[in-house]
Structure 1
Amino acid sequence: MAKILILAALPEEGDALFADAGVKDDSPFAVRRLTAHGHDLTIAISGLGKVNAALAAGMLGGDADLLLMSGTCGSLGAAPGAYWLAEAVQHDYGANEPGRFRRYRAGEWPIGEAGEAHFAAMPDPGLGLPHARIASGDSFVACPDAAADLKSLGATLVDMEVGAVAQVAARLGKPWAAIKAVTDEANGDSADDFHGNLARAAHSAGREIERLVAAI
């Protein structure tokens, strides 16, 4: 039996996970605890952004065997649907230099030669989902120019949390995985598209997370 922490940024994303199951507590992260597929699960709502995600992962993930994240994301050219996030990079961590911004792996010195900036997820157990690299940062991307810049990192998806959860997992020496589903195309229509597609995408990711838990 594994202890698994599952994080979601928004209540809509968390409620789509093992709906109506578990016992709630009064923590700041609206925690639900339940047993499913032979595993002890803790489901928590972190709140938006890297700081909230890292705080929740750090506070709740200490005794977990695995850190997961479920929810929604923007597309940087990826087709609609749910994705296994094989890699995560924090697009707003690095060094401002004359005429450019150089990305480094979050937590490492942003000085000198820049190496690979991404964190790698645990191996895919065979869910059959398309794989993607996600770029995470503390901004909602609703601009084609900004989206094009993020594509230069090899990312095809964008969000505000997964990269931070991946960094916490690396610091704690724990495996991590994330599944997110697309709500918008990181352009001028993104705000309306996000709200219009939030429930559908949250449930799409939630179903795949439930499949993942069953496969572990």
Structure 2
Amino acid sequence: MPNLLILAALPEEADALFPGTGTSDRAPIPLRRLTTHAHSLTIATCGLGKVNAALATGLLGADGDLILMTGTCGALGAAPGAYWIAEALQHDYGAAHPGAFRRYRAGDWPMGEAGAAHFAAMPDPGLGLPHARIASGDSFIACPDAAADLASLGATLVDMEVGAVAQAAARLGKPWAAIKAVTDDANDASGGDFQANLARAARAAAGQIERLVAMQ
């Protein structure tokens, strides 16, 4: 039976996925385990940020056949809705030069010519969702200027975890995928918009992850 690890940063995001099913374990990372569609699922609430996401992936991902992430994100010009994350990068990994910050693929030596900075997800099995590149970093983006800088990297979404999950999955040699739904526009209204839209967006992403699990 294939083992799937599904990560969510927040309890609201994890609880929206196959709600009310499975058995729970609280330590050291909150988990819920269940069987569905002939798959063994571990749903982990990893916590916010890149370190938490990478730690959970490293601790739990070695036994997984596929590493998934569900949850919410900010938009960098993208329309509301759920997105298939085709590419992920870490926007705060690189080298600081006078007047510029040069991004590198996370884990690469941050000197010399920079190559492609992103990690590529597994092929889309045909969910029919729009594709996006997401920029991940350890900051909540609530500033139009910061959002414009990230958009210049070709990203249309921003979050705090997917890029780290992608890096950790690559180190483990595991395929990965993520589906994120928009809560806010990464501007000065983002704090309130995030809270107002969290439950709706979490469920939108979870519903698509449930479809993805059924297709595996």
What range describes the TM-score normalised by the shorter chain of this pair? Answer: over 0.9
Question: Matched residue of 1:146: which SS?
Answer: helix
Question: Matched residue of 1:158: which SS?
Answer: strand
Alignment of 1:165-180 (within 5 A): 165-180=165-180
TM-score, normalized by length of structure 2?
0.99
In structure 1, the gaps of 5 or more residues are none
Question: Matched residue of 2:40: which SS?
Answer: strand
Matched, 1:197 2:197: yes
Matched, 1:71 2:58: no
Alignment of 1:12-91 (within 5 A): 12-91=12-91
Question: Matched residue of 2:187: which SS?
Answer: coil
Question: Matched residue of 1:116: which SS?
Answer: coil
Which residue identity lines up with residue 102 of structure 1 in the other structure?
A: R
User: Alpha-carbon deviation of 1:26?
Assistant: 2.7
Which residue identity lines up with residue 27 of structure 2 in the other structure?
A: S
Q: Distance in 2 between matches of 1:96 and 1:161?
A: 22
User: Alpha-carbon deviation of 1:99?
Assistant: 0.9
Question: Matched residue of 1:62: which SS?
Answer: helix
Q: Which residue of 1 aligns with 2:109?
A: 109
- Deviation per CA, 1:164-203: give whole Å up to 9, x if none: 0000000000000000000000000000000000000000
Q: Which residue of 1 aligns with 2:206?
A: 206
User: Alpha-carbon deviation of 1:27?
Assistant: 1.6
Q: What do you get for the CA RMSD once the two structures are aligned?
A: 0.5
Q: Distance in 2 between matches of 1:130 and 1:215?
A: 17
Matched, 1:160 2:160: yes
Matched, 1:7 2:7: yes
Which residue identity lines up with residue 149 of structure 1 in the other structure?
A: D
Which residue identity lines up with residue 166 of structure 1 in the other structure?
A: A
Which residue identity lines up with residue 159 of structure 2 in the other structure?
A: D
Q: Distance in 2 between matches of 1:108 and 1:142?
A: 28
In structure 2, the gaps of 5 or more residues are none
Q: Which residue of 1 aligns with 2:187?
A: 187
Question: Matched residue of 1:188: which SS?
Answer: coil
Q: Distance in 2 between matches of 1:106 and 1:97?
A: 17
Q: Distance in 2 between matches of 1:28 and 1:137?
A: 23
Paired-residue identity, % = 76
Q: Which residue of 2 aligns with 1:94?
A: 94
- Deviation per CA, 1:48-99: give whole Å up to 9, x if none: 0000000011001111011000000000000000000000000000000111
Q: Distance in 1 between matches of 2:79 and 2:25?
A: 37
Q: Distance in 2 between matches of 1:173 and 1:99?
A: 36
Aligned length: 216
Q: Distance in 1 between matches of 2:123 and 2:2?
A: 16
Q: Distance in 2 between matches of 1:31 and 1:60?
A: 10
Q: Distance in 2 between matches of 1:141 and 1:28?
A: 29
Q: Distance in 2 between matches of 1:32 and 1:114?
A: 40
Question: Matched residue of 1:110: which SS?
Answer: coil
Alignment of 1:121-160 (within 5 A): 121-160=121-160
User: Alpha-carbon deviation of 1:7?
Assistant: 0.2
Q: Distance in 1 between matches of 2:193 and 2:68?
A: 25
